[in-house]
Amino acid sequence: MARAETRPETWLYPTPRGLFCAPGNFYIDPPAGAERALITHGHADHARAGHKHVLATFETIEIMKVRYGVNCAGQFQIARYGSSETIEGVGVRFVPAGHILGSAQIVLEWAGSRIVVSGDYKRADDPTCAPFELVPCDVFVTEATFALPVFRHGPVTGEIGKLMQSMARQPQRTHLVGAYGLGKSQRVMKLVRLAGYDRPIYLHGAHAALTDLYVRLGQDFGDIRLVSEASAEDLAGALVMCPPSALGDRWSRRFDDPVAGFASGWMRVRGRARQRGVELPLVISDHADWPELIDTIVATGAEDVWVTHGRDDALVHQLGQMGRRARALALIGRDEEAE
Amino acid sequence: MRRFALLLDALSTHAGRLDKLALMHAYFQATPDPDRGWALAALTDGVPLRVAFRRVLGTLMAERIDPVLYKLSRDYVGDTAETVALLWPETPRADGHVVPSLSEIVVILQTCRPRDLEAVMAGLLDRFDATERWAFLKFLGGALRVGVSARLAKTALARLELEPSSSPALSDDARGAHDVGEIEEVWHALKPPYTELFQWLDGCGPRPDTVGVPVFRPLMLATPVEDADWPNLRAEDFAAEWKWDGIRVQIAATQQSVRMYSRTGEDVSATFPEIGSAFAGREVTADGELLVMREGIVRPFNDLQQRLNRKVVSPKLMAEHPAHVRLYDLLMLDGEDLRALPFEQRRQRLEAWHAAAPPAWTDLSAMIAFDSFDSLRQLHVDARAASIEGLMLKRRSSPYLAGRPKGHWFKWKRTALTLDCVLMYAQRGSGKRSSLYSDYTFGVWRAGATGAPELVPVGKAYSGFTDAELKQLDSFIRQNTVETFGPVRSVKAQLVLEVAFDAVQRSSRHKSGVAMRFPRIHRIRWDKPAAEADTLETIVGLIEG
């Protein structure tokens, strides 16, 4: 048991400039302009441009460079999964989080206690990234994007099956699948390929650069083409990946009577699908669902759980019922909708 | 249950009418009796199962989930059936798992003793997956909220094809020959699970018997008179009546009972009990306009609205907003079908029947004498009383025909009023229009609290523009968005819409205190500065009655 002056909350805490580790003098996933930033993964609400020094996995750094330019940080340092290092006496280790390519939990050790900052994570299989690795700890800092018991995401194969069946049943209609452009889109493409779909997949321009990066980093998606370079005949009946916002945008008018799909954990709730005008909701999430959140937290053995962005109310309540210390950690700038 | 759940699921995500029709048609075609009949009941008048399942659900959920988590979930999902469906613990399915059919569910619940209901409900929920649980609870609770009207479901039924084995002599063209009107005519003589109806539609049984039942007869509707029509019309061939601003109703009375139907065949008898009493014991089917009338004067449509869609009708409400039916046609009288007779003869029968013993709360729609369309046009221009929408022209020789046959009845609406309003909010359309902001809320100026002019919304319109104009409006909205709330955007007060409408009424439901009847976009005034749009005072000045 840590002594009073070294209790975890005295050395890792939220500040207006981000989650701060005082003895190590660094921030985790901070807003722009940190002296030293440790970054869990490449999503824009975690990885930002403009830090002096960035420590992240190779993939995360590459993602940041694609998004913000090669000079988006003063200096980059690669963290390899599993290898430990010390920053001002604080032990630091990056461990796979299973969220997207390059995503990591950051394990911090200082003064006899261990804190795991999960970033975003999931437990379900994902052929585009390393699986989540469980690290026992004293404090687990968890996300809570889908922290309501209504969120139980079924096996992803069933959802991909829905997409394949819909394409088989309506072969003349273009299937637009709205998906977040980093991670989700690539995961869906990979799963569709694994399910045997071998026709070209077309991409909205906004998904091109990051998909190229995935390919450079060794992911194979088969025949990938750009919508902007395709003819109307090519696109009739084709599978097209696009940002969710493009579904209701002028861009989508180029397709004649398309099927609008949306791959997201939010699609578990009908109202969300209706709000978006989605005809083919696909419950595919890159975040832990409710049972995964609870099981993971329990498995870490953490006595203290700090809950970051999402539905902290429900999760804090549930953990309290289970006799654990849990509290909400208000971090600014987290984007609930980006799933 | 599995098929029904998939049907509801698909209906909830397909916005287009044709898609919905195709989904229902495929379901009715592929599903055996009596299951499809129970599904039809759920899609139309509701499943007549009297089980206190809401209370039972409360108990069952309390045993299974923490009340705080339940409440947070319910608030998030916004629908009890869906919340329960998503929260219910998943039971692993063994091989050979059988999901009970709709008719099995009905039998189970009908024969269930009240004290067993909890266990029975839990047992059923355990056997379903999340989509089936949702569909099951919607099935019990009514209010499916999948965007299907009873009429649309009946339209899907009308497309059912005859069984090939039933009448081999029939050509392919004759299959699926039923009309939705034919179904509506027998509908109210039937009960779930509608087995007789399906047998008839399949060509395996006779037309269901409607003797003694006050069934709905599909209405004859009018078409708008166009400028091009006038040269082909002769004044002496037509009778004229005022077009009243109420709701079209049909009163069907037999010795046994009386019902009043809306124009789509929905039974609205319970909302207007005084009309039912007035026709008790008669043997008649009459067509007319439902109005609210006080001291012999027809009140504006807004008064009628106070009476619509109420389950319980208080004596106070009936006294303050007395219902009245202005009759204009007779379809059946003492067992005789008058529909094949010319209008003129039906009118004579109507007058004679009414004069002999007029039912309370009724009168006849007066015939307007005229010698030429020009003299009628003068009357038409002057018609500005509340409750008059314009004129009806009825061909004297026309039989009573279901639907909207061309050339028989014309509606000649009075000239619309127009006002210059300012676009305030725009909402995404649905279906083909889902990428376009196509529903517009507009307002007019009034003096705000500080005396500075402010806009107050006065109406909403989503028609009256061309596809090209829609695209222009959409791009204006995207470029001038102030804030986005889900599917709605507020826009800079900049664009003037000339809005056409039939009338203005007082309304306590709108912030502005006024409500427009049938607003539509008349012109887009790209040229006009917003500051020069009309004021609330101008609109209030147009209120009639």
Query: Nearest C-alpha of chain A: how many angstroms from B73?
Result: 6
Which of A253, A274, A321 lies at the smallest CB-CB distance from B435?
A: A253
For B474, the closest chain A residue by CA position comes to A250
Q: Return the CATH number at A121.
A: 3.60.15.10
Are residue A143 and residue A169 in the same domain, yes or no? Answer: no
Are residue A20 and residue A136 in the same domain, yes or no? Answer: yes
Which of A150, A271, A279 lies at the smallest CB-CB distance from B73?
A: A150
ipTM for this model: 0.92
Calculate the average pLDDT of chain A.
93
Q: Which of residues 314-333 of A touch B (CB under 8 A)?
A: 314, 317-318, 321
Residue B520: is it exposed, middle or buried by C-beta count within 10 angstroms (0-12/13-18/19+)?
middle
Q: Is the pLDDT of residue A4 over 90?
A: no
Residue B359: is it exposed, middle or buried by C-beta count within 10 angstroms (0-12/13-18/19+)?
buried
Are residue A31 and residue A50 in the same domain, yes or no? Answer: yes
Domain assignment present for A19: yes
Are residue A8 and residue A142 in the same domain, yes or no? Answer: yes
Residue A266 makes CB contacts below 8 A (sequence gap 6+) with A272, A339
Q: Is the pLDDT of residue A269 over 50?
A: yes
For A153, the closest chain B residue by CA position comes to B86
Are residue A132 and residue A207 in the same domain, yes or no? Answer: no
Q: Terminal CA-to-CA distance of chain A, rounded, Å?
A: 37
B299 vs A331, more confident: B299
Are residue A31 and residue A52 in the same domain, yes or no? Answer: yes
Contacts with B77 from chain A: Cβ below 8 Å: 150, 269, 271
Domain assignment present for A130: yes
pLDDT at position A231, please? Answer: 94
pLDDT at position B453, please? Answer: 92
Name the phi and psi angles at A242, rounded to 5: -150, 165
Residue B202 makes CB contacts below 8 A (sequence gap 6+) with B160, B162, B163, B166
Tell whether B77 is within 8 A of chain A (Cβ).
yes
Domain assignment present for A231: yes
A91 vs A332, more confident: A91
Query: Nearest C-alpha of chain A: how many angstroms from B14?
Result: 6
For B19, the closest chain A residue by CA position comes to A279
User: Which domain, by its residues, includes A24?
Assistant: 4-150+287-328
Residue spans of the domains in chain B: they are 223-413, 417-540
Distance CA B9, CA B387 (A): 43
pLDDT at position B163, please? Answer: 60
Query: Nearest C-alpha of chain B: how many angstroms from A223?
Result: 29
Q: Is the pLDDT of residue A339 over 60?
A: no
For A256, the closest chain B residue by CA position comes to B432
Architecture of the B417-540 domain: Beta Barrel (2.40)
Per-residue pLDDT of chain B (545 residues; tens, 9 = 90+): 999 999 999 999 988 889 999 999 999 999 999 999 999 999 998 999 888 888 899 999 999 999 999 999 998 888 899 999 999 998 888 778 889 999 999 999 999 998 999 999 999 999 999 999 999 999 998 788 888 999 899 999 998 876 655 444 444 444 456 888 889 999 999 999 999 999 999 888 999 998 889 999 999 999 989 888 999 999 999 999 999 888 999 999 999 999 999 988 889 999 999 999 999 999 999 999 999 999 888 888 878 888 887 878 899 999 999 999 999 999 999 999 999 999 999 999 999 999 999 999 999 999 999 999 988 888 877 766 657 888 999 999 999 998 889 999 999 887 788 999 999 999 987 766 777 899 999 999 999 888 889 999 999 998 889 888 998 999 899 889 998 887 789 999 999 999 999 888 888 878 888 988 889 999 999 988 899 999 999 998 888 65
pLDDT at position B168, please? Answer: 44
Are residue A293 and residue A278 in the same domain, yes or no? Answer: no
DSSP state of B169: T
Q: What is the mean pLDDT of residues A36-61?
A: 97
Domain assignment present for A337: no
pLDDT at position B95, please? Answer: 78
The pairs formed by B104-110 with CB atoms below 8 angstroms and a separation of 24 or more are B105/B1, B105/B136, B105/B139, B106/B38, B106/B47, B106/B49, B106/B193, B109/B49, B109/B51, B109/B140, B110/B49
**Low-confidence winner among A101-115, A268-282, B231-245 (lowest mean pLDDT):** A268-282
pLDDT tens sequence across B188-198: 999 999 999 99
Q: Return the CATH number at A221.
A: 3.40.50
Q: Which of residues 252-271 of B touch A (CB under 8 A)?
A: none
Tell whether A149 is within 8 A of chain B (Cβ).
yes
Tell whether A291 is within 8 A of chain B (Cβ).
no
Q: What is the largest CA-CA distance in chain A?
A: 70
Whether A271 and B78 lie within 8 Å, measured CB to CB:
yes
Tell whether B488 is within 8 A of chain A (Cβ).
no
Contacts with B79 from chain A: Cβ below 8 Å: 270-271
Tell whether B479 is within 8 A of chain A (Cβ).
no
Tell whether A267 is within 8 A of chain B (Cβ).
no
**To 10 degrees, what angle do helices A156-169 and A184-194 make?**
70
Are residue A107 and residue A62 in the same domain, yes or no? Answer: yes
Contacts with B90 from chain A: Cβ below 8 Å: 152
Contacts with A250 from chain B: Cβ below 8 Å: 435, 474-475, 478
Which of A273, A277, A313 lies at the smallest CB-CB distance from B72?
A: A313
Q: What is the mean pLDDT of residues A161-185?
A: 96
**Hey, which bits of B142-246 come out as E strands?**
223-224, 238-244
Task: Give this prediction's pTM.
Answer: 0.80
Whether B77 and A271 lie within 8 Å, measured CB to CB:
yes
Are residue A169 and residue A271 in the same domain, yes or no? Answer: yes
Instruction: Tell which of A249, A270, A278, A318 to mutate to test the B interface (max B CBs under 10 Å).
Output: A270
Q: How many CB pairs under 8 A join A and B?
A: 73
pLDDT tens sequence across A193-246: 999 999 999 999 999 999 999 999 999 999 999 999 999 999 999 999 999 989
Domain assignment present for A339: no
Q: How many domains does chain A have?
A: 2
Contacts with B72 from chain A: Cβ below 8 Å: 148, 311, 313-314, 317
Tell whether A260 is within 8 A of chain B (Cβ).
yes
Q: Three-state SS for B50?
A: coil
State how far the alpha carbon of B30 is from the alpha carbons of A50, B9, B23, B179, B524, in Å.
Answer: 61, 17, 11, 20, 49
Contacts with A266 from chain B: Cβ below 8 Å: none
pLDDT at position B173, please? Answer: 41
CATH 3.30.470.30 fits B223-413, yes or no: yes
Question: DSSP secondary structure string, A11-51?
Answer: HEEEETTEEEETTTTEEESPSS--SEEE-S--STTT--S-E
pLDDT tens sequence across A9-19: 999 999 989 99
Of residues B186, B79, B182, the one with CA closest to residue B137: B79
pLDDT band at A103 (very low <50, low <70, confident <90, very high): very high
pLDDT at position B54, please? Answer: 84
Whether B72 and A314 lie within 8 Å, measured CB to CB:
yes
Whether B87 and A149 lie within 8 Å, measured CB to CB:
yes
pLDDT at position B102, please? Answer: 96
Are residue A208 and residue A72 in the same domain, yes or no? Answer: no
Are residue A19 and residue A44 in the same domain, yes or no? Answer: yes
Distance CA B87, CA A149 (A): 6
pLDDT band at A334 (very low <50, low <70, confident <90, very high): low
Whether B72 and A252 lie within 8 Å, measured CB to CB:
no
Are residue A95 and residue A140 in the same domain, yes or no? Answer: yes
